[in-house]
């Protein structure tokens, strides 16, 4: 019975599970809903999403859970020791046959997507944001709730809406974001939008609801709107700051000490649709800020989706060498982009 390896990436928009063999060939995949114990309707609902994705991936592959040699769960909402303890118990109860699994914040999933060794810092901007690092001595740390600014698509739109509301009161500059967001969400005026988004029993207050409008903020910034440009610039600068903090927490040197960045640079893997979209002003801001805030940081664009990074972690946990051939097979057999789209 050939051993398989399982990677799970769970966030607020979706949960994805991937199974591959020891050569990196994907044999099963599945996706489900919100897997964040902080963001789902309940911790039980998040557990159902994660366990459901795992079971469906096993069904697609036509194998049993006993065939999984190692599993790597990279889950949004694993922020404190009690969160990890919750998942240890939940997985032991729901998937007791998984005898070898690691559980970390979803930020760790992206490190191997740009740095196969798994040593580096990952900055992800998706529906939300995640920043995590694994240092040269194996130290691990995640920004988690130390992130004090709302980021990712959801945070970007929340700040854009605040700018629109302030502009409507005459307390902030006029912005094309007003017309863009009214059209996108389908409201006749700003007060109607504010009312619906904030009323006591409003259906639109859940985390991530606004995230789909991030494309409007990005488009406004690319067209030169000063308010949108400032929002994107601030997000990129904050993420560069968080990369520096994370690198320091896991023991990376923070300067190049005279060596070239190619020789000494700390890999900073950049992932997620907010950073990966074509012409992303958030990415441009981060790349501009990184050399001054974190001179030793070497930006690397993720070449695999985070769930593939989680699967690589599972392979590495059993001693499988993450060679270029393994990476190529994982990339070639991965689900199509539309399967992973948010």
List the CATH number of the domain containing 67.
3.30.420.40
How would you list the strands of the sheet with 26-32, edge to edge?
Answer: 26-32, 15-21, 4-10, 68-75, 101-105
The answer to the question of residue 171 being in a domain is: yes
- Same domain? For 109 and 23 the reply is yes
- Same domain? For 18 and 108 the reply is yes
Calculate what percentage of the chain has a pLDDT beyond 90. 80
Residues whose CB falls within 8 Å of the CB of residue 269, separated by 6 or more in sequence, listed in order: 110, 111, 113, 114, 115, 120, 121, 122, 123, 300, 301, 302
- Same domain? For 17 and 99 the reply is yes
How would you list the strands of the sheet with 297-301, edge to edge?
Answer: 140-142, 129-134, 120-125, 266-271, 297-301
The answer to the question of residue 123 being in a domain is: no
DSSP state of 98: -
- Same domain? For 34 and 103 the reply is yes
- Same domain? For 220 and 163 the reply is yes
- Domain of 202 in residue numbering reads as 153-224
pLDDT at 262: 43
The answer to the question of residue 210 being in a domain is: yes
pLDDT at 198: 87
Distances (CA, A) of 238 to 38, 129, 312, 317: 23, 11, 28, 32
pLDDT at 260: 41
* Residue 296 backbone dihedrals phi, psi, to 5 degrees: -80, -10
Which of residues 224, 253, 287 is at a domain's end? Answer: 224
Burial class (CB in 10 A: 0-12, 13-18, 19+), 241: middle
CA 251, distance to chain mean position in Å, is 22
- Same domain? For 19 and 97 the reply is yes
* Residue 131 backbone dihedrals phi, psi, to 5 degrees: -135, 125
- Which three-class secondary structure state does DSSP give residue 102? strand
- Same domain? For 20 and 107 the reply is yes
- Same domain? For 158 and 89 the reply is no
- Same domain? For 87 and 23 the reply is yes
- Same domain? For 157 and 75 the reply is no
Which of residues 193, 224, 255 is at a domain's end? Answer: 224
The answer to the question of residue 173 being in a domain is: yes
- Do the beta carbons of residue 290 and residue 132 sit within 8 Å? no
Low-confidence ranges of the chain (pLDDT < 70): 1, 202-209, 255-264, 342
- Same domain? For 71 and 159 the reply is no
Domains of the chain: total: 2
- Same domain? For 25 and 104 the reply is yes
30 forms beta bridges with 17
The answer to the question of residue 231 being in a domain is: no
The answer to the question of residue 142 being in a domain is: no
pLDDT 10s digits, 133-174: 999 999 999 999 998 877 789 899 999 999 999 999 999 999
The answer to the question of residue 309 being in a domain is: yes
Does the reported pTM lie above 0.85?
yes
The answer to the question of residue 243 being in a domain is: no
Which of residues 196, 224, 252 is at a domain's end? Answer: 224
CA 300, distance to chain mean position in Å, is 15
């Amino acid at each position: 019975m050939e051993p398989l390896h399982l990677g799970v990436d769970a966030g607020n928009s979706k949960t994805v599970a991937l199974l591959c063999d020891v050569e990196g060939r994907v044999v099963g995949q599945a996706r489900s809903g919100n897997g964040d114990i902080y963001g789902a309707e309940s911790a039980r609902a998040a557990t159902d999403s994660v366990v459901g994705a795992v079971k469906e991936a096993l069904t697609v592959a036509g194998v049993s859970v006993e065939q999984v040699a190692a599993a790597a769960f990279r889950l949004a909402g694993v922020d404190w020791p009690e969160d990890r303890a919750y998942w240890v118990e939940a997985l032991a109860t729901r998937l007791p046959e998984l005898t070898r699994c690691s559980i970390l914040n979803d930020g760790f999933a992206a490190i191997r997507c740009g740095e196969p060794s798994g040593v580096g810092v990952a900055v992800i901007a998706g529906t939300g944001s995640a920043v995590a690092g694994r240092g040269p001595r194996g130290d691990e740390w995640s920004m988690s709730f130390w992130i004090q600014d709302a980021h990712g698509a959801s945070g970007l739109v929340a700040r854009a809406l605040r700018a629109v509301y302030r502009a409507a009161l005459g307390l902030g500059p006029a912005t094309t974001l007003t017309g863009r967001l009214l059209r996108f969400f389908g409201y006749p005026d700003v007060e109607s939008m504010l009312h619906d988004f904030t009323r006591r029993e409003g259906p639109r207050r859940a985390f991530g609801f606004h995230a789909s409008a991030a494309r409007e903020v990005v488009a406004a910034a690319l067209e030169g709107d000063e308010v949108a440009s400032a929002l994107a610039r601030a997000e990129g600068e904050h993420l560069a700051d968080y990369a520096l903090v994370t690198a320091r927490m896991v023991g990376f040197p923070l300067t190049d000490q005279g060596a070239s960045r190619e020789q000494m640079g700390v890999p900073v893997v950049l992932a997620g649709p907010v950073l990966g979209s074509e012409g992303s002003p958030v990415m441009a801001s981060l790349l501009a800020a990184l050399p001054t805030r974190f001179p030793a940081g070497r930006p690397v664009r993720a070449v695999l989706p985070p769930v593939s990074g989680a699967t690589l972690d599972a392979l590495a946990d059993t001693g499988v060498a993450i060679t270029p051939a393994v990476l190529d097979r994982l990339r070639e057999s991965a689900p199509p982009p539309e399967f992973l789209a948010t």
